[in-house]
Structure 1
């Protein structure tokens, strides 16, 4: 005699669709996770081709949203810092995405890579460390800045 309760042999339990729905309701995948993973893999692929570079990761040091101008336009200010550089970004809404105005300290001309889901573009900061990107479409943004020969700093990816 078994003390286990009898089971209906015709019942097989919930099917795969029911289990998926149960887990999606109980523990949903965070919004944008698949896009962030794909972006990180794309960035890793681009970075692995530069194995001779010494990379330094920047860290987020400040972030705030503020209303500016007479119309109350919103500007998101984000600051990243590392032992070598600090970069402040002012992100403002424009038609089709965001405008990025940036200042690097210490100032000086340096190569800047702007990595987005659309690809990578390069530009140069001016002698004061300022640069701008007129339009970045919604998605992820990461900057790679040259410190000096062979040394590079990388920001974490931002979601715009």
Structure 2
């Protein structure tokens, strides 16, 4: 009995599929568009918008710049970073994230620093060496889902 029901259901679904393929066929370029959409999403995440608020273009007028302020955004999460030079030559990185952050890491090559998010999304790293740096922040979005926010590489 179950085999007959299964065969009847399969035949019905096959006829239904044929009708829909005839009435509303899958667009020829659907696969290509989906691959492009996924690729763009990855690019958006990897290359978050970087806006230099203050920095090197002013150093020629002001002399040696001891600070830089950077803003990163992926359209959902915004991060503001302020880098200052410490007396010992290391850098202090202060930042603010506008989404609830669960984990914040600053990475330079093989080395990583962790920071606990404080009130209003504030975080800080001390004793950071000069070099190419990236921030990785796990945030909770408005729907409660976890997202991995990564900045492009920047120099401190």
Interval containing the TM-score (normalised by the shorter chain): 0.5 to 0.7
Higher relative contact order (CA 8 A, sep 6+): 1
SS in 2 for 1:112: strand
Runs of 5+ unmatched residues, structure 2: 1-41
CA distance in 1, matches of 2:155, 2:66: 16
Is 1:141 paired with 2:130? Answer: no
Question: How far 1:75 sits from its partner (Å)?
Answer: 1.6
C-alpha RMSD of matched pairs (Å): 2.6
Shift of residue 109, structure 1, vs aligned partner = 4.0
2:45 is the counterpart of 1:56: yes
Superposition TM-score, scaled by structure 2 size: 0.56
Do structure 1's residue 114 and structure 2's residue 103 form an aligned pair?
Answer: no
Q: What whole-Å deviation, never above 9, does each CA across 1:47-84 have from its counterpart, x for those lacking one?
A: xxxxxxx99232202331379xxxx9732111111122
Change (3 A) 1:73 1:59: closer
Q: How many residues are aligned here?
A: 102
1:152 aligns with 2:148: yes
Matches of 1:152 and 1:64, distance apart in 2: 26
Largest Rg, 1 or 2: 2
SS in 2 for 1:91: strand
Gaps of 5+ in 1: 1-53
What is the match of residue 89 of structure 2? Answer: 96
Could you tell me how far apart the structure 2 residues matched to 1:110 and 1:127 are?
Answer: 12
TM-score of the pair, normalised by structure 1: 0.55
Partner of 1:77: 69
